[in-house]
Amino acid sequence: MINSEIVANGNDNIITNAEKINSKEENAIIKINTIYIGQDDEEDTTELITKGVYRQKGNLTQIIYQDTEVTGFYDCETKITAKKNDLVSILRRGNKVGSDLIVQYDKKLYSQYTTPMGSVLIGVMANVIENSFNENGGTLHMKYTIDMNGSFVSENEIDISVELI
């Protein structure tokens, strides 16, 4: 199991789990498109456009925003940390919900998801991570598979774009 706080912190210390954002810090428009394909080839797509915080330091990029009902994580703060083209962590914290999704290119990792109904351990394997973030914003494209107890759960695709305001 990977400690998500260590992955998110790396050596550049641009993220802490305790910090909260406020509207004065918001410096970016964040667009997130997700595609989820489940066991029965059911496809579900979601689009979120919101304001948030964008930070770039060294080889790490951090995006912080408040989730909404659209994503199913209402009233959660989400922190995405991307390291080059090989590692992305998505940490969500909120009312009765907490999830740590760590995605590393070409390596299966295990992450903990906590919901009001309990916690579950999932396996995550990324086959695409394309990160073009820089000091002016940019994009991130990921494709990854999720399994639970070795059984396929879903194929996922996420596209994130950030425009500074």
Residuewise pLDDT in 10s, the chain (165 residues):
333 343 444 444 344 444 556 667 899 999 999 999 998 899 999 999 999 999 998 889 999 998 876 666 667 899 999 998 889 999 988 876 677 889 999 899 988 777 667 778 899 999 999 999 999 999 999 999 999 888 999 999 999 999 999
The DSSP output letter for 139 is E
User: CA-CA distances (angstroms) from residue 138 to 62, 65, 67, 161?
Assistant: 12, 16, 20, 6
pLDDT score, position 112:
75
- pLDDT for 71: 62
d(CA 43, CA 155): 9
- Residue 5 phi, psi (nearest 5): -65, -40
With CA atoms as reference, report the closest residue to 34 among 163, 161, 147: 161
pTM, whole model, 2 decimals? 0.80
pLDDT at 38: 92
Residue 160 is which amino acid? Answer: I
Cα end-to-end span (Å), the chain: 37
What are the helix (H) ranges across the chain? 4-9
What is the per-residue pLDDT for 13? 38
Q: Which residue has the tokens 């299966």?
A: 108
Amino acid at 59: N
